[in-house]
């Protein structure tokens, strides 16, 4: 096996690494400076494994998106209602930076984060104009498989 070496970084290297991380986390949101945004749409996609929230303008152009994984949750914790509320808080911060006040909410999926995400959005100060459930529901689509006979 041999000896294991521990690499120690100098202060300059640590400062450079920290600056790179800060630059990566503070990405600029792409909007036209002259375009004034008052309204937006928020799409919540909640599955058993993750919660994704997307912020768009009225036309449907994506302004920002957050997931439970990007907020810092890993594994099975991404599908919890607590993770969904944290994702909603993160998207509200972005919406407040863009000065969006009124939102239309579209919910899709059957995960545990549906209710808590909407509650977090309303509790953080955004004015929810409408809430619409757009979960796809099959209308007796495909024919099921034959019963297996053993």
Cβ(31)–Cβ(64) under 8 Å? no
What pLDDT is recorded for position 94? 92
Q: What pLDDT digit, counting tens, does each position of 22-80 carry?
A: 666 555 555 555 456 789 999 999 999 999 999 999 999 999 999 999 999 999 999 99
Q: What pLDDT digit, counting tens, does each position of 84-124 carry?
A: 999 999 999 999 999 999 999 999 999 888 999 999 999 98
What pLDDT is recorded for position 11? 79
- Enter the CATH code of domain 40-133: 3.30.420.80
* Three-class DSSP category at 107: strand
Distance CA 145, CA 76 (A): 31
What predicted TM-score, i.e. pTM, was given to this entire model? 0.72
Mean pLDDT of 133-140: 90
| Helices and strands counted in the chain (H then E) | 4, 5
Proportion of the chain in helix, strand, coil states, percent, rounded to 5: 35, 25, 45
Phi-psi group of 92: left, alpha or beta (phi > 0 → left; psi -120 to 50 → alpha; rest → beta): alpha
Residue 21 banded pLDDT, cuts 50, 70, 90: low
What pLDDT is recorded for position 34? 46
Find where tokens 């058993």 sit.
Answer: 48
Residue 6's CB is within 10 A of a number of other CB atoms, namely: 4
Domain boundaries, the chain: 40-133
């Amino acid at each position: 096996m041999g000896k294991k070496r521990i690499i120690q970084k100098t202060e300059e290297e640590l400062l450079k690494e920290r600056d790179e991380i800060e630059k990566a986390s503070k990405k600029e949101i792409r909007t036209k400076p002259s375009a004034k945004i008052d309204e937006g749409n928020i799409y919540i996609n909640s599955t058993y494994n993750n919660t994704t929230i997307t912020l768009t303008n009225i036309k449907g152009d994506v302004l920002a998106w957050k997931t439970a994984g990007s907020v810092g949750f890993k594994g099975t914790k991404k599908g919890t209602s607590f993770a969904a509320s944290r994702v909603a808080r993160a998207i509200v911060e972005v919406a407040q930076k863009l000065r969006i006040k009124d939102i239309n909410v579209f919910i899709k999926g059957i995960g545990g984060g549906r209710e808590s995400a909407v509650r977090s959005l309303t509790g953080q100060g955004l004015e929810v104009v409408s809430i619409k459930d757009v979960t796809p529901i099959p209308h007796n689509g495909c024919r099921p498989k034959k019963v297996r006979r053993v």
